[in-house]
Amino acid sequence: MTPSNGLHVETVRVLLRVVIFLSIAGAAISLRLFSVIRFESIIHEFDPWFNYRATKYLVLHSFYEFLNWFDERTWYPLGRVTGGTLYPGLMVTSGAIWHVMREWLRLPVDIRNICVLLAPAFSGVTAVFTYLLTKEMKDGSAGLLAALFMGIAPGYISRSVAGSYDNEAIAITLLMATFYLWIKAMKVGSIFYGALTALSYFYMVSAWGGYVFITNLIPLHVFVLLLMGRYSPRLYTAYTTWYALGTLASMQIPFVGFLPIRSNDHMAGLGVFGLIQLVALGAYVRSNVPSAQFKSFFAVSIVLVVSLGVLGLFALTAAGWIAPWTGRFYSLWDTNYAKIHIPIIASVSEHQPTPWPAIFFDTNMLAWLFPVGLYYCFQELRDEHLFIIIYGLFSAYFAGVMVRLILTLTPVMCVAGAIALSKLFDAYMDITDLFKSSGSAQASSAADSSSETEKKSSKRSSSKKGFPLFQLLTKAIVLSSFVYYLAYFVMHCTWVTSNAYSSPSVVLPSRNPDGSPAIIDDYREAYYWLRMNTPEDAKVMAWWDYGYQIGGMADRTTLVDNNTWNNTHIATVGKAMASSEEVSYEILKQHDVDYVLVIFGGILGYSGDDINKFLWMVRIAEGIWPNEVRERDFFTDKGEYKVDSEATEAMRNSLMYKMSYYRFTDMHNGREAVDRVRSQVIPSDRKITLDTVEEAYTTQNWIVRIYKVKDLDNLGRDLQSAGKSERQESAAALGKRTRNAKKPDLDLRV
Amino acid sequence: MAKKDVAAKKASAAFAARPDLDAATARKPVKSSSPISKSINDVVAAVNTTYTNYLKALTPRLKLIDSFLVFLVALGVLQFVYVLLVGNFPFNAFLGGFISCVGQFVLTVSLRMQYALATQSEESKGEDSPFPTITPERALGDFVFASLVLHFIVFHFIN
């Protein structure tokens, strides 16, 4: 700390900072590589497969073709205006990287590897922006802590491991960048930073639907500042620049279109924009007139403005100019809203309310450092601290409503946690005052200049005797316990990442009976089979979860996918799955379906299978056809969801049930078989017959079963009677030659 | 009266789509007579003092900026009226034009604030300016940068 050779200290500090940053970035990136090392460089989950497919389309075609892309291979027979219904930021980013690498650096990189490694690379950048943001809040050391937290917090890792090629991968980086620039703009009051904020906001809008969060958060911040009487020309400059440029820029994204001036979600920004104009006017008048006059001026104008504003809003909404709130928005406020009105939103597991353990699991010690950080923010309460408080409160609420919004909570937790921890370190690591006071008693030169109180204390401490053992000890204890927490945090993060977030979910890790690791690769097996053995224009029907994967891996036309833009179409598929064969066959034929694909985990105990999702299919179908599909029919009299001998009539006749358990008992040589997901016994006496579809392929562990839809019968019978007569024939044959038929030809498959 | 409104608006260096707001503020007192006559007088006096102060602080450069602001407001209002009368068929174009007016307006207001305050604080050195780091030159540079961005986007938007 001695400024004797000041230049050196500064240089060393810069050097240290650079080294620390490099190691944080290194840690952040390498932590996210577990999945690549364990499995391979593969795209994960569901949505990333679509992004990957879109990126491939982008690099193979031109940018304009990409924007005008009409995809006829999804949502058959409707198709999807893909170019106009996606956020292109992610694909454009990786496309640009690909071009730069290929054409400028001459590195022939596969686009898949760029997609896989994009998220880890961006996580390093996120750490930098978190540092900058926290530095604005407190100082550089808090910033470094925040960067470290951000680099390894599992809440963020969950969406940014290698292979998790999703919008969030770059969106969180942009979120932090936008916030940093906003704080900077607000502090400096510069048009330049305001414009940069708008540009980064534009990038964010192009990358993720969550931009609405920023759209509301910044106006809210400004609004609260105005209410607190903290208007300043700086605020005006920063906000209006951001809003005018940002709004205009956000309308350039085809998917967003005119939403920023039409939908209520975006109205807060406009309202605050108007308000700040008035406040600026008021401030100007105020600076020129005495306060008494200003008061009446103020009162009159307030009444006018409020009445005009409310009237205007009502008129516009009534006239249909402003769209009412969207369903997803309602579901944020009323957690039951989605369940009642929009089953398709509620059916997604990441839209469920968050349980407490999940928060602790994702943030560990930040969960309790976060309120402390907010407390410190309250204590200082500069304009930028207010931002952290608002951001913290809102994202904490939203994270409680939807699991996946923990993602937006994590950055603010890191920032607030870092502020708290660095305050604590500031207080406890500073041992100079202890030694200074004891030292100054001996060396009189320093004591002369010190103040009265300091002298007193120095006298006291010197009278108490030289070495402040107990103070040092307390400090050491507190510090060491926090160092322990930090170390534990690192271990926790590593553990969570390696165990919970590194599974691609396309490939499942498992263990052999002897404990050696094994890999269950049924999905890719099935998709590859589809790719190789079916005609190129074959239509595959599956529940929407698998739409993107089928499109990406099997390259076949799907009926519905994870985009879920058309609820009716999804309900149609749900109905086909939930109805009896005769009804389903109609639907299948109407939609030209060639293959039906179901996920079945009964053999392996894989719980994410279609029978477990079945109730959602029923519910969604019931939403459109309440008379033909009824959820009640699928529950037993006791209200249980059963697949064993007590299963209801509707359940047993449904196409889904039949396809899942078709020949299931044959696996066990015709004896009763146990479904290992639901721990229920599937009876062997009731043989499941399929007349309208035939089994085409079943993977090694039976996770994916593919059925081919039969064509109309050659003899003009309906397929049921054809199947019946066929079964009678074979039964007769069975009676004649019992011995031959008894041997099941299942050995190869099992 | 109307003249004064325009001046007051100009003076306050504000605002966009609502020239009628100031007019309403000032006109209302004239209509409503008895109960709050004191506050009416206050409002009129406030507008008056603001106006005189504004005239006092005016420099040629600020005057230039202000006349540009008035021009922008007029342009914005003109477009709005056009939409009300004729209809908003090329909605993109209207939006682009209108927002470019509003955007340019707020940018110019910001520039004006920064400029006025910077020169003010130069005169009275002790006072701390709300824009500590921004010199008039930098303000102009920022303004040009932001305007370029704005008009680039508008150009892209109107097709």
The CA-atom distances, in angstroms, between A138 and each of A383, A412, A747 are: 12, 14, 68
Same domain for B124 and B69, yes or no, is yes
Is residue B23 within 8 angstroms of chain A, CB to CB? Answer: no
Q: Which residues, in sequence order, are bridge partners of residue A706?
A: A597, A697
Same domain for B138 and B63, yes or no, is yes
ipTM of the complex: 0.76
Same domain for B110 and B40, yes or no, is no
The average pLDDT across A62-69 equals 88
Q: What is the pLDDT of residues A33-56, one digit of tens each?
A: 988 888 888 888 888 999 999 999
Q: Which residues are within 8 A (CB) of B34 and not within 5 positions of it... i.e. 6 or more apart?
A: none
Same domain for B146 and B71, yes or no, is yes
* Predicted pLDDT at A488: 92
Q: Is residue A169 over pLDDT 50? A: yes
Please answer yes or no on whether A245 and B146 come within 8 Å at the CB atom. yes
DSSP 8-state code for residue A263: B
Q: Nearest residue on chain B to A252, judged by CA atoms? A: B157
Q: How confident is the model at residue B13 (pLDDT cuts 50, 70, 90)?
A: very low
Q: How confident is the model at residue B32 (pLDDT cuts 50, 70, 90)?
A: very low
Q: Nearest residue on chain B to A289, judged by CA atoms? A: B46
Same domain for B7 and B76, yes or no, is no
* Predicted pLDDT at A506: 83
A587: closest CA of chain B, how far (Å): 42
Q: What is the pLDDT of residues A190-225, one digit of tens each?
A: 889 999 999 999 999 999 888 888 988 999 999 999
Same domain for B125 and B69, yes or no, is yes
DSSP 8-state code for residue A322: S
- Measure the CA dihedral A104/A110/A115/A119, to 10°: -70
Share of chain A above pLDDT 70, in %: 88
More confident residue, A316 or A500: A500
CATH 3.10.20.590 fits A518-710, yes or no: no
Please answer yes or no on whether B146 and A192 come within 8 Å at the CB atom. yes
Helices and strands of chain B, counted as H and E runs: 6, 0
Q: Which one of B62, B147, B149, B154 makes the best mutation probe of the A interface by having the most chain A beta carbons within 10 Å? A: B149
* Predicted pLDDT at B23: 42
- C-alpha atoms less than 13 angstroms from C-alpha of A128 in its C-beta half-sphere: 15
Q: How confident is the model at residue B8 (pLDDT cuts 50, 70, 90)?
A: very low
Out of A189, A243, A304, the one facing B25 most closely (by C-beta) is A304
Domain edges within chain A: 20-424, 518-710, 712-750
Same domain for B103 and B159, yes or no, is yes
| Rounded Cα–Cα distance for residues B134 and A494 (Å) | 45
What is the H or E stretch that residue A237 is in? Answer: helix A233-250
The residue written with tokens 């370190």 in the block is A425
As given in the structure block, the two tokens for residue B86 are 């004729």
CB atoms near residue A663 (< 10 Å): 16
Same domain for B26 and B63, yes or no, is no
* Residue B10 lies in domain: 1-57
Q: How confident is the model at residue A736 (pLDDT cuts 50, 70, 90)?
A: low
Same domain for B123 and B150, yes or no, is yes
Q: What is the pLDDT of residues A640-656, one digit of tens each?
A: 888 888 888 888 888 88
- Measure the CA dihedral B112/B115/B120/B123, to 10°: -150
Out of B39, B103, B131, the one facing A245 most closely (by C-beta) is B103
State chain A's mean pLDDT as an integer.
83
Share of chain B above pLDDT 70, in %: 68
Cα angle, residue B130 at apex, residues B127 and B134 outer, rounded to 5°: 105
Is residue B15 within 8 angstroms of chain A, CB to CB? Answer: yes
* Predicted pLDDT at A445: 41
Is residue B111 within 8 angstroms of chain A, CB to CB? Answer: yes
Q: Which one of A186, A190, A232, A270 makes the best mutation probe of the B interface by having the most chain B beta carbons within 10 Å? A: A190
* Predicted pLDDT at A240: 92
Please answer yes or no on whether B130 and A232 come within 8 Å at the CB atom. yes
Q: How confident is the model at residue A514 (pLDDT cuts 50, 70, 90)?
A: confident
Out of A237, A245, A308, the one facing B149 most closely (by C-beta) is A245
Out of B42, B131, B139, the one facing A296 most closely (by C-beta) is B42
The average pLDDT across A57-78 equals 88
Is residue B58 within 8 angstroms of chain A, CB to CB? Answer: no
* Predicted pLDDT at A129: 93
Same domain for B52 and B107, yes or no, is no
Given a contact cutoff of 8 angstroms between Cβ atoms, the answer to whether B43 and B29 are in contact is yes
Domain count, chain B: 2
Question: Among A58-67, A433-442, B73-82, which stretch is predicted with the lowest mean pLDDT?
Answer: A433-442
More confident residue, B55 or B148: B148
Helices and strands of chain A, counted as H and E runs: 35, 9
| Rounded Cα–Cα distance for residues A236 and A245 (Å) | 14
Same domain for B13 and B38, yes or no, is yes
The residue written with tokens 């004891």 in the block is A438
Q: What length is written for chain A? A: 750
A183: closest CA of chain B, how far (Å): 15
Which runs of consecutive H residues, i.e. helices, occur in A342-382? Answer: 343-346, 356-363, 366-380
Cβ-based contacts of B36 with chain A (< 8 Å): 296
3-class secondary-structure state, position A509: strand
| Rounded Cα–Cα distance for residues A400 and A645 (Å) | 40
Is residue B114 within 8 angstroms of chain A, CB to CB? Answer: yes
Cα angle, residue A613 at apex, residues A608 and A618 outer, rounded to 5°: 170
Q: How confident is the model at residue B147 (pLDDT cuts 50, 70, 90)?
A: very high
Is residue B133 within 8 angstroms of chain A, CB to CB? Answer: yes
Same domain for B53 and B67, yes or no, is no
Q: Which one of A222, A293, A307, A383 makes the best mutation probe of the B interface by having the most chain B beta carbons within 10 Å? A: A293
Q: Is residue A472 over pLDDT 70? A: yes
Cα angle, residue A317 at apex, residues A315 and A323 outer, rounded to 5°: 160
* Predicted pLDDT at B139: 85
As given in the structure block, the two tokens for residue A98 are 């690909």
Q: Is residue A179 over pLDDT 90? A: yes
3-class secondary-structure state, position A597: strand
* Predicted pLDDT at B137: 83
More confident residue, A734 or A722: A722
Given a contact cutoff of 8 angstroms between Cβ atoms, the answer to whether B23 and B2 are in contact is yes
Give residue B42's Cα distance to chain centre: 23
Please answer yes or no on whether A198 and B149 come within 8 Å at the CB atom. yes
